Structure 1
Amino acid sequence: MDPITNPYAPGAGTQPPELAGREALREAVRIAIARLRLGRPAKSMILVGLRGVGKTVLLERMRLDAEKEGIHTLRIETPESRSLPALLAPQLRLALLRLSRVESAKEYAQQGLRALAGFATALKVKFGDIEVGLDLEPEPGLADNGDLEGDLTALLEQVGVAAREANTALVMCIDELQYVQEEELSALISALHRCALDRLPVSLIGAGLPQLRGKAGSAKSYAERLFDYPEVGPLSESDAATALVKPAEEEGVSYEPQAVQEIIRHTRGYPYFLQEWGKHAWDVATESPITLADVQLAAREAIAALDESFFRVRFDRLTPGEKRYIRAMAELGPGPHRSGDIASLLGREVTSLAPTRSNLINKGMIYSPSHGDTAFTVPLFDEFMKRSMPQQDWRHTEQE
């Protein structure tokens, strides 16, 4: 079939042609934001899930849904190397400038810009990566104490008042939230809590890996009451079939039922994998319908593409010791696994491997679903590790 009309879109955060199985979550967010706009209580939301389940895609779709309703949104992806204040400041400036064009909110938005000037100036010493244009002079005593928690609270309160007066809301959409430092996450949660108490229309829709629940709770004990934490997982069999079949049907192409089942079997319903397999099955097929034989023929290309584009980029960030650790996990299967079982395979004591495990958690490769357990954050990574390190010389290698 013509590769130019191939409808599938494997890529980091690339919107798929059919966002199947996420309707309930989108509706929950829509209702929460609508309540917030009316001054009614509504929890912020943090989407948690493994890599490849479509959290980034879903977060962006929710943001666009909100923008269509006249909501002001921030779009932020948190890298490991940037501070949260540095990421928030320029985005809040843009939101305040937009709000200042609404006559009823102009005065309050300008006050917010003064708060932002004080915030950026006072925290520049501590967070040297803050770079933001200052449109107005700071107002002494407004968000300028140099204390992140207090200053961020004062700043978001000013933004919230401006949004309220403009009959809208501000929704911060922050991806990869697990990379935010605990002190900064604590300040953000505290600021959101104050806005919620004051019934100000400021909210967070975040996304991150499963360890984010525990990290938020450690940052502030009341985080569990301030947020909902919906889990974004693989698609059900029917939703996976829809995500695969519907885009092809819109191009006049169908699938044999056995071909659909084979792709779902390989991908386990993970959205990113479905896109990759759909792409390669399309490229291999010569005519409609796409058959089981086409899917089987495409398997090598699909697996190779996932290895290079999805798995290896994470694998290559690891040290030799970290690779051996996750290779031992892979030997035990998909997981979760007890830390003692992993250590036994490596011929080491659990305590000696604790720094390695901690580094892998910080890199977002693994997480602890419960005390003493360890699991991959990347679906099917155990299979990749067995392909990448098929020999057994990883078992009893000397310590690094």
Structure 2
Amino acid sequence: MDPVRNPFAPGAGRRPRELAGRQAIVEDARVAIERAMLCKPSRSQIFLGLRGVGKTVLLNTVEHMATERGHLTSSIEAPENKSLGEQLLPRIHQVLRKLSIIENAKGKTFDAMRALKSFAAAFRLEYGDMTISVDPEVGVADSGDLENDLPELFVRVGDAAKAAGKAWTLLIDEIQYLSEKDFAALIASLHKTSQKDLPVLFFGAGLPQVAALSGDAKSYSERLFHFPEVGALSDKDAIAAIRQPILDEGAMIDNDALAEIILKTRGYPYFLQEWGHQTWNLASDNKITLKDTQQAEATTLARLDQGFFKVRFNRLTPKEREYVIAMAQLGNGPYRSSDIADALGETPQSLGPRRAQIISKGMIYSPSHGDVAFTVPMFNEYLLRNLANLS
């Protein structure tokens, strides 16, 4: 079929034509966004799930909804080597510049700008091409203690947004890469704005361990956040994610072809998009058949291996690669740390630092004490499929 009309576009954070199976999450976000505009409290949300399940797509969808409903938004992808303060400085400055042109908010925005200037000076943050042309406010957000200063800054931003009849929504992707200190300060800041009924809302996305990390950072985080789990789609939703875009293009797909795609992808959204994309390009006569999906398997797996799996495997050191290959050879996870140690002829204690480093790189996580699992769906199958080339 015509590749120009192909309705499937696999890519990081790219919204699929049919956002199936996420309606409840999107609706909860909409309610929170609209309540924030009324200064009514709502729990902030952190989407949890493995790689390739569409967490970033949800963040982008939420940001679009918030913007449409009068929120000013700031979007961040948490890096592994940059502080939260460095990331927030230019984004908060941008929000305050937008608020500064609203007559009712000029006084509160000026106060927030002064707090931001104090914050930047206290943490020696670079401005780049940005200038904050106000004097810092002594005694506000300038102690050099992030957990004390960031809440004060958030309150000033919330006050300015409220005066303007607006709301501020902060969105952070890959939140597991925040340091514990930064995460604790963020939680404390959101707690403070929530206590004051300010129109400040937060949406994050991260790997499954984030819920535990938030609890470690602040014990009250479970009362502050809602943690929607974003996983593989049900068969019904996975079928809709494939069938509806095809029908929208005036084409058709056989039921057995649909069943084959669902079986091979196990309902994971990124894999569905890749399989759908390759199958469409192979099909003819405006109809996708079982033969088309079967013929697409080699191309699809090659694309996934090169563009989804390999880039993550390449981040690992040789010793870390040895560890994850040993995991894969044990079968399907989760895996006992002691079993991995036995397979490598070492002790769990000696492998502890290696395990921790792989976790810090976002490749594995600990679903329960003593267990580890891959953060990438079907990663064990990739390793076994390519074992001869990886060892």
Same fold (TM over 0.5): yes
Identity %: 50
Amino acid corresponding to residue 195 of structure 1 in structure 2: T
Residues in 2 aligned to 1:165 and 1:47: alpha-carbon distance in whole angstroms = 30
What corresponds to 1:166 in structure 2?
A: 164
Q: Of 181, 190, 193, which residue of structure 2 is paired with 1:192?
A: 190
What corresponds to 1:242 in structure 2?
A: 240
Which 10-residue stretch deviates more, 205-214 or 102-111? Answer: 102-111
Change (3 A) 1:352 1:131: farther
Contact in 2 for aligned 1:85/1:130 (Cα 8 Å) = no
SS in 2 for 1:333: coil
Amino acid corresponding to residue 245 of structure 1 in structure 2: R
Offset, 1:390: 4.3
Residues in 2 aligned to 1:386 and 1:70: alpha-carbon distance in whole angstroms = 50
What corresponds to 1:397 in structure 2?
A: none
Residues in 2 aligned to 1:373 and 1:94: alpha-carbon distance in whole angstroms = 43
Residues in 2 aligned to 1:131 and 1:152: alpha-carbon distance in whole angstroms = 23
CA RMSD in angstroms comes to 1.5
What corresponds to 2:15 in structure 1?
A: 15
Amino acid corresponding to residue 115 of structure 1 in structure 2: A
Q: How many residues align?
A: 391
Q: Deviations over 1:65-116 (max 9, x none)?
A: 1111111111111111211111111111111111112211121112111111
Runs of 4+ in 1 over 6 A off after TM superposition: 128-131
SS in 1 for 2:252: coil
Contact in 2 for aligned 1:90/1:133 (Cα 8 Å) = no
What corresponds to 1:60 in structure 2?
A: 60
Q: Of 247, 271, 274, which residue of structure 2 is paired with 1:273?
A: 271
Amino acid corresponding to residue 18 of structure 1 in structure 2: E
What corresponds to 1:233 in structure 2?
A: 231
Residues in 1 aligned to 2:134 and 2:17: alpha-carbon distance in whole angstroms = 44
1:372 aligns with 2:370: yes
What corresponds to 1:203 in structure 2?
A: 201
**TM-score normalized with structure 2 length:** 0.97
1:253 aligns with 2:254: no
Offset, 1:35: 1.9
What corresponds to 2:335 in structure 1?
A: 337
What corresponds to 1:398 in structure 2?
A: none
Residues in 2 aligned to 1:287 and 1:364: alpha-carbon distance in whole angstroms = 43
Change (3 A) 1:130 1:214: farther
Residues in 2 aligned to 1:353 and 1:143: alpha-carbon distance in whole angstroms = 42
Contact in 2 for aligned 1:86/1:129 (Cα 8 Å) = no
Unaligned runs of 5+ in 2: none
Residues in 2 aligned to 1:95 and 1:375: alpha-carbon distance in whole angstroms = 39
Q: Deviations over 1:317-349 (max 9, x none)?
A: 111111111111111223111111111122221
What corresponds to 2:2 in structure 1?
A: 2
**TM-score normalized with structure 1 length:** 0.95
Which 10-residue stretch deviates more, 155-164 or 326-335? Answer: 326-335
Change (3 A) 1:215 1:66: same
Change (3 A) 1:73 1:44: same
Unaligned runs of 5+ in 1: 395-400
Amino acid corresponding to residue 172 of structure 1 in structure 2: L
What corresponds to 1:355 in structure 2?
A: 353
Offset, 1:130: 8.1
SS in 2 for 1:46: strand
